[in-house]
Structures are given as structure tokens and as C-alpha cells.
């Protein structure tokens, strides 16, 4: 009798432990997937800042505009929104390069005031893009009902849309890292970011490097928009929230630090996932900003690039 009771208690303990283990794993999975979304939103902004020192306040507007175009395309044609990805990458890159040449490059010649002027230019551009999106797409929140279910692995659920977005972000981050560190043009880009004068003296066409960096950054932001509209409702006015989110993440990860930003995005996702489960939605919402304050107080050196 006593032995049977002990066996039953042992089984219950094991089941409880297994349940706790599954919960911990699911929270981890949810956090990593959320982090993947953050990488997607933040990395392109990080590229533009890292190489050019330009704080692109129009970042969220580009994501929202691309997302709204994807919605329109998908609803109009009935085709997969993912088909817009190559178009967004190419179109975004072309538009970004054109915008850089017409709007950003002239203010980059302003010497010490270049940072402030580019901030003002991209701030104005963000409003122009939001207004354009409002006029063309309206102000409704919209989202594409695509990849809404999840893949199951045992007791764990992997949201399909987040997996696709995270995988895309991972591939793009890896390609970006490889390009910047292993190819001549990428190294030229890094050199131009570290010392434009030094790069110039080595024969690097710094203006061209900036054009490429801005083009790629905007292309990636547009691609992020294609995936974001599948994950959550987006409206033109979402733009400022997306910009803020991206800034918090790159500030946490280290401005211009690609691996740092990816790591910060993933850790933030996991921390929010755990906080949301145990402490509720308000704690999850406020966590990035609390962490930002902590990081700023603990390691202001990370923000040296802002100066």
C-alpha cells in the first residue's frame, strides 16, 4: 500500500516536472521567435546607422508602407504575400539608393552638422511616407491572414509566420555579417564607417559605399514590412512604434554591432516571453524600456557612437 502510494507520488512529481520543462521550453521558443521578429525590424536600421551614422527616423514608415503594399497585393491577387519579398528587397533597395542620393548625401557634406541634418531630413521623410500611405492605403489597421497556425514538435508549438520571419531575419543577418566581414566591398563599407577620411585615402569611393549601405538597409526594411503584415495588424500610424522598437533594440545590442543586436533581440524576446507569462501584459510591454535604462546606466560606453 505504502509502496503504491510512493510510486503514485513519484509519477505525479515526474509529470509535474515534465510539464514545467515543457512550459520553460515553450516560453523559450516563443521568446526566440519574438526575438527573430525584432532582429528583422532592427537589423536594417542598424546597418544604416552603423555604416553612415544616419539615424533613419523613416525606418518604421518604410516597413509600414511595404506591409500595406503587400496587403493590397495579396488581397487583390489572392497570391501569397511572400511573393512580394523579392520585389520589396529590389524596389526598396532602388528607392533607398535614390533617396540617399537625393536627400541624405547632400546633408552628409555638412561636416559636423551632418548627423543632426540627416536626423531632420529622415524625420520629415517619415511624415511624408506616413501621409502617402494614409492617402493611398487609408488609415485602417490591416493584416494578411496567412501562415496563421503553428508547426508542432511534441508538445511545443512554433507559430508559422514567426518562424518564417525569424528564419528570414537569421539568413539576412548571416549574409550581412558574412558580406561585411569576408568580402572586399563589405570591408570597404566597414572602413568607410570607421573612418571616412581614411577610407577615402585608400581609394574607397565613400559616397558610393554610403549609397549601397542605404539601399540595402531600405531594401531589408521593406522586406521586413512584407513579413510584419502577416504577423500583426499594421496601419500607416504604426510606423513610429516600429521605429521606436527598432531603436530600443539596437541601443540594447550596441549601435552598429550586428551580432550584439541579434543577441539583444533574442534575449529581449525571451525576457519578454517569460515576463508576459508570469507577470502579465503590462510587465512585458514595459520591460524593453526598463532594460534600456539599466543598460544605459550600467554601460554608457555602448552609446559612444551617439556622440
**Residue ranges that bind other proteins, judged by CB under 8 A:** 23, 26-27, 30, 33-34, 71-72, 75-76, 132, 134-145, 148-150, 152, 157, 159-160, 162, 231-233, 235-237, 272-277, 280-282, 284-286
CB of 192 to other proteins, least distance (A): 35
Q: Is the dihedral of CA 279, 240, 257, 169 positive or negative?
A: positive
All 3 cell numbers of residue 37?
521578429
> Quick one: CA torsion of 125, 127, 132, 137, rounded to 10 degrees?
130
Between residues 52 and 133, which has the closer beta carbon with respect to other proteins?
A: 133
Q: Residue 212, exposed/middle/buried by CB under 10 A (0-12, 13-18, 19+)? A: buried
All 3 cell numbers of residue 76?
487583390
CB of 290 to other proteins, least distance (A): 13
CB of 130 to other proteins, least distance (A): 8
Q: How does 156-176 read in b/e, with b if 16+ C-beta sit within 10 Å?
A: eebbebbbbbbebbeebbeeb
Between residues 71 and 168, which has the closer beta carbon with respect to other proteins?
A: 71
CB of 162 to other proteins, least distance (A): 8
Report how far residue 103's alpha carbon sits from residue 95's, in angstroms, rounded to the nearest whole number: 11
152: helix, strand or coil: strand
Beta bridge partners of 156: 153
Between residues 149 and 201, which has the closer beta carbon with respect to other proteins?
A: 149
Between residues 122 and 238, which has the closer beta carbon with respect to other proteins?
A: 238
Between residues 194 and 282, which has the closer beta carbon with respect to other proteins?
A: 282
All 3 cell numbers of residue 172?
539576412
Report how far residue 249's alpha carbon sits from residue 38's, in angstroms, rounded to the nearest whole number: 7
Beta bridge partners of 157: 152
CB of 287 to other proteins, least distance (A): 11
CB of 233 to other proteins, least distance (A): 4
Report how far residue 272's alpha carbon sits from residue 34's, in angstroms, rounded to the nearest whole number: 9
Between residues 100 and 273, which has the closer beta carbon with respect to other proteins?
A: 273
Between residues 31 and 186, which has the closer beta carbon with respect to other proteins?
A: 31
Q: Are 114 and 52 in contact (CB under 8 A)?
A: no
CB of 227 to other proteins, least distance (A): 13
Between residues 156 and 207, which has the closer beta carbon with respect to other proteins?
A: 156
CB of 166 to other proteins, least distance (A): 13
Q: Residue 278, exposed/middle/buried by CB under 10 A (0-12, 13-18, 19+)? A: exposed
All 3 cell numbers of residue 123?
524625420
The residue among 141, 135, 139, 161 whose CA lies nearest residue 149 is 161
Report how far residue 37's alpha carbon sits from residue 44's, in angstroms, rounded to the nearest whole number: 12
Amino acid at each position: 500500500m505504502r509502496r503504491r502510494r510512493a510510486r503514485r507520488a513519484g509519477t505525479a512529481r515526474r509529470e509535474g516536472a515534465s510539464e514545467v520543462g515543457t512550459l520553460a521550453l515553450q516560453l523559450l521558443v516563443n521568446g526566440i521567435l519574438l526575438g527573430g521578429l525584432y532582429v528583422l525590424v532592427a537589423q536594417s536600421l542598424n546597418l544604416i546607422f552603423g555604416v553612415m551614422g544616419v539615424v533613419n527616423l523613416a525606418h518604421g514608415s518604410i516597413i509600414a508602407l511595404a506591409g500595406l503594399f503587400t496587403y493590397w497585393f495579396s488581397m487583390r491577387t489572392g497570391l501569397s504575400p511572400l511573393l512580394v519579398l523579392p520585389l520589396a528587397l529590389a524596389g526598396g533597395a532602388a528607392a533607398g539608393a535614390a533617396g540617399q542620393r537625393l536627400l541624405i548625401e547632400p546633408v552628409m557634406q555638412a561636416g559636423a552638422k551632418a548627423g543632426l541634418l540627416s536626423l531632420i531630413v529622415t524625420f520629415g521623410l517619415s511624415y511624408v511616407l506616413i501621409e502617402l500611405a494614409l492617402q493611398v492605403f487609408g488609415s485602417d489597421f490591416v493584416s494578411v491572414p496567412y501562415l496563421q497556425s503553428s508547426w508542432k514538435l511534441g508538445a511545443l508549438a512554433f507559430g508559422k509566420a514567426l518562424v518564417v520571419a525569424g528564419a528570414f531575419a537569421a539568413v539576412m543577418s548571416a549574409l550581412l555579417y558574412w558580406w561585411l566581414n569576408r568580402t572586399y566591398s563589405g570591408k570597404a563599407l566597414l572602413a568607410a564607417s570607421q573612418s571616412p577620411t581614411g577610407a577615402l585615402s585608400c581609394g574607397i569611393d565613400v559616397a558610393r559605399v554610403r549609397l549601397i549601405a542605404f539601399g540595402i538597409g531600405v531594401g531589408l526594411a521593406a522586406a521586413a514590412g512584407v513579413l510584419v503584415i502577416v504577423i500583426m495588424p499594421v496601419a500607416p500610424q504604426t510606423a513610429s512604434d516600429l521605429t521606436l522598437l527598432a531603436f530600443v533594440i539596437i541601443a540594447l545590442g550596441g549601435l552598429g554591432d550586428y551580432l550584439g543586436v541579434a543577441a539583444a533581440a533574442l534575449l529581449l524576446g525571451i525576457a519578454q516571453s517569460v515576463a508576459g507569462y508570469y507577470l502579465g501584459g503590462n510587465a512585458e510591454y514595459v520591460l524593453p524600456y526598463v532594460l534600456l535604462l539599466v543598460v544605459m546606466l550600467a554601460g554608457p560606453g555602448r552609446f559612444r557612437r551617439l556622440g
